Amino acid sequence: MAKDKPDWSEFSDKENKQQSLDVVISQNVIQNMVYVLRGQQVMMDSDLAMLYKVETRALNQAVKRNIARFPEKFCFQISNEEYENLKSQLVISSLEKEKDENYGGRRTLPYVFSEQGIAMLSAVLRSDTAIQVSIRIMETFVEMRRYMANSALMFEKINEVEFKQIEYQKKTEERFEQVFDYIAEHDEAKQKIFFDGQIYDAFSLLVKLVGSAEKSIFLVDNYVDVGTLNILAKKKANVSVCIYTMKQTTLTKADAANFNKQYPKLEVRHTGVFHDRFLIIDSDRAYHIGASLKDAGKKCFAISLLESKGIIKDILQRLTLKSERYS
């Protein structure tokens, strides 16, 4: 007895229908039909009707017959402003544009359905297509929520990284500012050279050095005059000054007396044992100066910091032993 041949047509039809459905409602298609209104993701009635293969009017009538199942959070009619906003953003589907009143179609504002409302539609329409379409839409909504959650996390991480970069940049800039401030305040710390004609620059640096003294200033310079006193006059009050120079100096007793009347206390001593010029600040910081203070900037010269405390001590001892008071 011959066996009946199996009827594969039913399965083929189902497979063809499913393939057709997959083409029509691919995830990308559904995503392009999802809008955000009033803080939630929604789909328009006309787009849903197209996917469910029913007329928009029939879909809305089914909803009205079962209105108790569609509270406002499931389904609501959008306002004119919302509709115009959607149109201005070019997010309304081509099918909806064809149905716009400007094209002689619908006269009422569209209804939109939330995710819960779409799930309820499958129960109201009662068709295999509605069930399959609703499942596909639910999957798309879930995928979009996952994407937005991941995007939010990603942006949060980016913001966190940017914040750390800003903080790091701010701290780095503060450190650079501290370094630059230190350099600006200690630009004379190592050595400085002045070329001929840089009279004001040389004068400014010497004034700055004199002004940095807190207790005392010792100047060893064989050629001093009133111009030298003009620089020393920039010292702080109560800072004592002692000049060591040759006996043949052009600086007079009257010059020293006038200086002391306004900027005490100045003492002048004679010595002939030094050829070079030295400026000693507070007995712990000494500068070797390549030109007399009164001639600074007229020709090329350099100023260098003497970092050895022993050298400073030796210079001061030598001055004490090899000098005499200006009488």
d(CA 75, CA 43): 10
- For the record, the structure tokens of 234 come out as 């920039």
CATH number for the region 191-325 comes to: 3.30.870.10
SS3 at position 72: coil
Please return the burial class of 50, using the count of CB atoms within 10 Å of its CB with bins 0-12, 13-18 and 19+.
Answer: buried
Residues with Cβ within 8 Å of residue 322, at least 6 apart in sequence? 271, 272, 273
pLDDT per residue rounded down to tens, the chain (327 residues): 433 444 434 434 444 444 444 444 666 778 788 888 888 888 889 888 888 888 999 999 999 999 999 999 899 999 988 888 877 655 555 445 444 444 445 678 899 998 888 888 878 887 777 778 878 887 877 777 776 666 656 666 666 666 666 666 666 666 656 655 655 555 444 667 777 778 888 888 898 999 999 999 999 998 899 889 999 999 999 999 999 998 888 888 899 999 999 998 899 998 888 888 999 999 989 999 988 888 877 888 888 888 788 888 888 888 888 777 765
> In 3D, which of 279, 264, 291, 308 has the Cα closest to residue 213?
279
Residues with Cβ within 8 Å of residue 62, at least 6 apart in sequence? 121, 124, 125
pTM of the model as a whole: 0.43
Report CA-CA distances (Å) from 225 to 2, 169, 232, 307. 137, 52, 11, 28
- pLDDT for the residue numbered 113: 92
d(CA 62, CA 58): 6
191-194 and 240-245: which strand pairing? unpaired
CA-derived radius of gyration, the chain: 47
In terms of residues, how long is the chain? 327
Q: How many helices (H) and strands (E) does the chain have?
A: 12, 12
- pLDDT for the residue numbered 136: 82
Query: Domain ranges in the chain?
Result: 15-153, 191-325
